A and B are shown apart, each in its own frame.
Chain A
Amino acid sequence: MIAKKCPKINALILTPFFRFLIIVQWRRSQTMNNIILTAEDQQHIRKLIEYKLTNCGYVVVAVEDGVQALEKARELLPALIMLDVMMPQMTGFEVLAALKADERTRSIPVLLVTAQSKEEEVLKGLEMGAEDYITKPFSPNELAARVRKVLLRKGGT
């Protein structure tokens, strides 16, 4: 409500600095971790995912390649990581392997976003420890539903 009435506050919330503050806040109170890290090299999709998931009430941190994703994952310990499979520098699979090899990030569920509807690739991802996958072209609503489901499943166990 406040945000709607005062555009200045709205702008403040959107500044990276403020967003950073929020993230720090959440890291302190680990009980309510709803940060989602998404790595996607295509800008339009990154913006879309960011918008959709922010709307659903998550804090979204979007990065554009695998190296950054790994860095941020270790720094923020998000509740969920979304990885595009086809990325420059490090593919989603490589990031996934690195995440699963690290003690601290091993338990974070990973959702793979893949352009290949090829069974083999999907199986490879799931075998490597991905929680779920979504193939392009995808419906944003379905994406949100899957994210919710994965987070619920994690909360349940």
Chain B
Amino acid sequence: MQTQLIIILSVTVALTFVVALVSIGLVIHKAVNAQEIRRRQRLYTHYSEKFAEVLLVDLPPIPSNARTSAIFKQYENLLVPIKKELESLPPVEARLHREMLRGVLVDFARDLSGDAIDRLIYCFYSLDFVSEQIELLKHKHWWVRAQAARDLGLLRTRRALAALTAALEDPHQDVRDQARQAIVSLAGVESLRTILRLTRRMSMWTALELSISVQQYGEETVPYLVEGLDLPDQSVVLFCIEMLAVIGFVSAVDPLRRLAKTYPSITVRAKAIEAMGRLGDQRSEDLLVSFIRDPNPALRLKALEALGRIGAPAALPALIPRLEHGTLQEQIAAARAIAATGPAGMDELHRVAAAGTKRQRAVCLHVIEERG
């Protein structure tokens, strides 16, 4: 009995102690942290001002035949006061300053273009961030690696290309994603080939991030995307189809026709059909019309939707019977496709809206209202 009491008593005391300690610790932490945040804020302001000047101050014009080193010398002069300031700090302070400095540079890199970015990249090299960040690509924590990859990409440091390519095979998804982004932004459109080859099971999020860079390059990416259509990984194929549709380049129609006809996976075929609709090229019409009678309902629906986007008057005779069959979704898609063919299609819809079955009338009224 006695021992039990002692045990429980000591547990009680220990618990009280822990709770009290944690609470006090938390409050202190919060107060210190608030101060720390204010200090960081101040430093950030300080360096944003400094760098706004470094990036924008007018430099004396130099002759166009001068070497690039002359330009760099000018930039270096701008950095002298900042470097001096950093050197005069004790190491712990200097680390914080450098961290904030890097934050400012990265933030600027995200939002700026034009000449200012050249100066920014120079600063990044000159302040010795590049080798530091490349080193961090091998850090044991994945989030540090990912952050380093992102920063290197935003600051377009070409020297990091090899290290970033290696990071494409990092065990952690986030690091791979950031490395992919970085490579596209610093090595340009040619890097797309490597990236597509090395990517497996691309998630929609990855696709989304990559699509932003791809869209920036526009039509230049088309050959690589077409090449990507033959890659073994289905998610990459889907991504390439999607991007071809977004970029909207007509030479993509033929490979898409081939995919829509022969690819083993229904998902990919459906996507290809959808993409043809978005490209809106006349050459795909005949194929789309043949698909509206396909035994697979998913493909039928996609084909009807695609025709609705293109607006193909020639398809009207084939479309009218589709109002009578299939699921409600298909009927609505068919009605939309009919409406898209032009005045003749609209007349047809009005006719069915007056004379068809109850469901057909509802479908037609629905679509007529949509068209306004």
Contact = CB atoms under 8 A, between A and B. Distances in A.
Given A44-B48, A44-B52, A47-B45, A139 B104 contact: no
A136 B48 contact: no
Given A48-B56, A141-B115, A141-B116, 11 more contacts: A42-B111, A43-B45, A44-B52, A48-B48, A51-B56, A55-B56, A137-B113, A138-B114, A139-B114, A140-B112, A140-B114
Interface of A: 42-45, 47-48, 50-52, 55, 136-142
Contacts of A142: 114
B107 interface: yes
Contacts of A48: 48, 52, 55-56, 108, 112
Contact of A43 (B48, B114, B116, B117): B48
A117 B44 CA distance: 27
A138 B115 contact: no
A9 B369 CA distance: 69
A40 B190 CA distance: 36
B107 to A, nearest CB: 5
Nearest to A137: B113
Interface string B45-80: 100110111011010000000000000000000000
Interface in B79-116: 104, 107-108, 110-116
Contact of B111 (A45, A51, A52, A141): A45
8 contacts: A44-B52, A45-B111, A52-B56, A138-B111, A138-B113, A140-B56, A141-B116, A142-B114
Interface string B204-221: 000000000000000000
Interface in B186-214: none
Nearest to B41: A43
Contacts of A51: 49, 52-53, 56
Nearest to A136: B111
B110 A47 contact: no
| Chain B interface residue number, banded | 20 to 34
A48 B119 CA distance: 14
Nearest to B114: A139
Contacts of B56: 48, 51-52, 55, 140
Contact of A44 (B53, B58, B107, B113): B107
Contacts of A50: 52
Contact of B114 (A42, A44, A141): A141
Given A47-B45, A47-B48, A140 B107 contact: no
A52 B114 CA distance: 14
A45 B110 CA distance: 10
B150 to A, nearest CB: 15
Contacts of B52: 44, 47-48, 50-52
Contacts of B49: 47, 51
B79 to A, nearest CB: 17
Given A44-B104, A48-B52, A51-B56, A139 B112 contact: yes
A141 B117 CA distance: 12
Nearest to B154: A137
Nearest to B44: A43
Interface centre among A44, A51, A138, A140 (most CB of B within 10 A): A44
Interface in B110-139: 110-117
A137 B112 contact: yes
Contacts of B115: 139, 141
A65 to B, nearest CB: 16
Nearest to B53: A51
Interface string B24-52: 00000000000000000000110011011
